[in-house]
Structure 1
Amino acid sequence: MSRLQFVADHLHAFEVKWLCAVVEVARSSFYAWLAGAEGRAAREAADQALAERIRAVHTEDNTYGAPRITAEL
């Protein structure tokens, strides 16, 4: 768990200012991280979809390595 995620998880119980001081991160960094949550979620979903496609190609032919899998995608 990252320090920023810790702050986000405990927002309901404590002030952001205090949490950021405890975990030694700037409030501006926390709010910037929080604003980028949607983009991170989209990238994680895209990475997951790509990983599934790679597994499917590899399952079809176990002799395929990275160059052939890349060409297949």
Structure 2
Amino acid sequence: MAETDNPYQNAHAESFWGRLKAELLEDGCFISLEDARNELFNYIEGYYNVCRLHSSLGYRSPIEFENQYYQTVSLLNSHK
């Protein structure tokens, strides 16, 4: 059973929510719930999962990491 109120138990999620609060909510309030949903979607799908550098990926963006992965796989397959 997981401990309650232990941020080290789920460090990746805690880090994500911390960055989300710092980067998305820095401008203040949203006009409506729909506005908040749109901004959250744009942040996650348009920035966080595409452009933002991630320490777990060697301080590369997910796109850079994915491109390097496919480049490596292609190189390995060409030597078979």
TM-score relative to the length of structure 2: 0.35
TM-score relative to the length of structure 1: 0.37
Structure number with the higher helix fraction is 1
Which structure has the larger Rg over C-alpha atoms?
Answer: 1
